[in-house]
Amino acid sequence: MLCATVLLAGCQSLPASTAALTNADAVYQQRSPSHDGIGKVYMGREIAEVMGHLGAGWLERPSREREEQPQTLIKALDLKPTDVVADIGAGTGYFSFRMSPLLPQGRVLAVDVQPEMLEIVNALKQEKHITNVETVLGSVTNPNLKDASIDLTLMVDAYHEFDHPREMMQAIVQALKPNGRVVLVEYRGENPLIPIKALHKMTQRQVRKEMSAVGLTWLETKETLPQQHILVFGKQGV
């Protein structure tokens, strides 16, 4: 691997672009993919495969209200009417459209890396006559948000699929306002009885470890949902 060569040669002699690549190699490890994984390991966790836009119907399934209690989650966010919220991995806008009525002077930025998902959001936005939801096409390393522009970033069952979690979270931290919050909602990896594939669940310990690595401080965990953690973080030193 390149990182092994660098340890022998000394990073100070490498061009900046090569040193950046080396740092990325040091953050991630590669192995044979397990079932539902991509074989890329970050901080001891194999990254899960992404659910593509062909699974959009599953996001809008009627049973989701009963299984996940989305309104309980929305209430737990403690949104202010003026908040600017980034819904990262927005998919069909399931949560974007549920937050928008609570933000009459604010807005929701529905971010996704799949243009097909954003097309669905835009179609629903027109159908529902909603004006404070905006779509943003992100990349696997950057949500493409302005610096210091976001009050709250929400990721619902999305973070565990990020192809480049370190880079993505660093960009999200950069986009947060000084008192901004990051909220991750993940199926509880501690509970083997929750009928979700193992790589699509996360333990609270793992989430806190990965958020600490990018300069976020754990504020609280709310266990008000039937099957998922609600983990709340803020910038360190704020």
Q: Which residue has the tokens 């001891």?
A: 44
- State yes or no: pLDDT of 40 exceeds 80: yes
Tell me the pLDDT tens digit for each residue of 84-96.
999 999 999 999 9
Q: Of the candidates 198, 229, 213, 218, which has an alpha carbon nearest to the alpha carbon of residue 28? A: 213
Answer yes or no: is 29 within a domain.
no
Question: Which residues contact residue 214 at a Cβ distance below 8 angstroms, ignoring those fewer than 6 apart?
Answer: 166, 169, 170, 173
Answer yes or no: is 103 within a domain.
yes
CB-CB neighbours of 76 under 10 Å: 18
DSSP class of residue 8 equals H
Answer yes or no: is 220 within a domain.
yes
User: Distance between CA 234 and CA 212 in Å, rounded?
Assistant: 10
Answer yes or no: is 208 within a domain.
yes
**C-alpha distances out from residue 79 to 76, 173, 175, Å:** 8, 19, 18
Answer yes or no: is 54 within a domain.
no
Q: How far apart are the first and last CA of the chain?
A: 38
Query: In the chain, how many domains are there?
Result: 1
Answer yes or no: is 30 within a domain.
no
Tell me the pLDDT tens digit for each residue of 102-160.
999 999 999 999 999 999 999 999 999 999 999 999 999 999 999 999 999 999 999 99
**C-alpha distances out from residue 187 to 67, 106, 116, Å:** 11, 29, 25
Q: What is the mean pLDDT of the chain?
A: 88
**Which range among 11-25, 63-77, 166-180, 190-204 shows the weakest confidence by mean pLDDT?**
11-25
CB-CB neighbours of 17 under 10 Å: 8
pLDDT of residue 122: 97
Read off the CATH number of the domain in which 185 is found.
3.40.50.150
The radius of gyration of the chain from alpha carbons, rounded to an integer in Å, stands at 18
Q: Which residue has the tokens 């919050």?
A: 181
Answering whether pTM is above 0.75, one says yes
Strands 201-202 and 216-222: unpaired
Q: Which residue has the tokens 């690549």?
A: 21
Answer yes or no: is 20 within a domain.
no
Q: Please give the share of the chain, as a percent, with pLDDT higher than 70.
A: 84
Answer yes or no: is 27 within a domain.
no
Question: Which residues contact residue 167 at a Cβ distance below 8 angstroms, ignoring those fewer than 6 apart?
Answer: 24, 141, 142
Domain span at residue 160 reads 62-235
